[in-house]
Amino acid sequence: VGFLWGSTNPFVKRGSDIVQKKLCTTPNASLISKLGTWVLTPSFVVPHGLNQSGSGLFIYLLGSSDISVLVPAANACSLVFNALADLALGESFRLVPLALGTSLVAIGVLIC
């Protein structure tokens, strides 16, 4: 779940930026046309679909897992995988606060 959420977030953001640029070229487009632009842009739809499959898996796991462990573990993993995906895409971020925050969340999950 954390992998699907975290690793796709940067790609969803990039895809939505592409869609927004497309929509800016036709500001008077109809709602259907705008919706079509979102749906027909693979750089948005594919990572968004994978992200939503992570949400589906999360809901499924809620039925068979301890919620007090599942939620923090999924969110902690999401943070780590999001940072790794950002790093792979060349995004800039502050390493020390990220490492500190990730460490604290990991310690909290281990305590649970």
> Which one is predicted more confidently, 38 or 106?
38
Asked if pLDDT for residue 9 goes beyond 90, the answer is: yes
Q: How far is 105 from 59, CA to CA, in rounded Å?
A: 22
Local confidence band at 111 (pLDDT 50, 70, 90 cut-offs): confident
Task: Say which range, 30-39, 41-50, 53-62, 87-96, has the weakest mean pLDDT.
Answer: 87-96
Contacts of 88 (CB under 8 A, 6+ apart): none
- Residue 53 to residues 34, 46, 84, 103: CA-CA distances in angstroms? 24, 11, 20, 27
Task: Say which range, 16-25, 78-87, 94-103, has the weakest mean pLDDT.
Answer: 94-103
Whole-prediction pTM value? 0.81
- Residue 61 to residues 7, 10, 15, 65, 79: CA-CA distances in angstroms? 19, 24, 28, 6, 19
pLDDT of residue 43: 95
pLDDT of residue 54: 96
Asked if pLDDT for residue 17 goes beyond 90, the answer is: yes
pLDDT of residue 104: 85
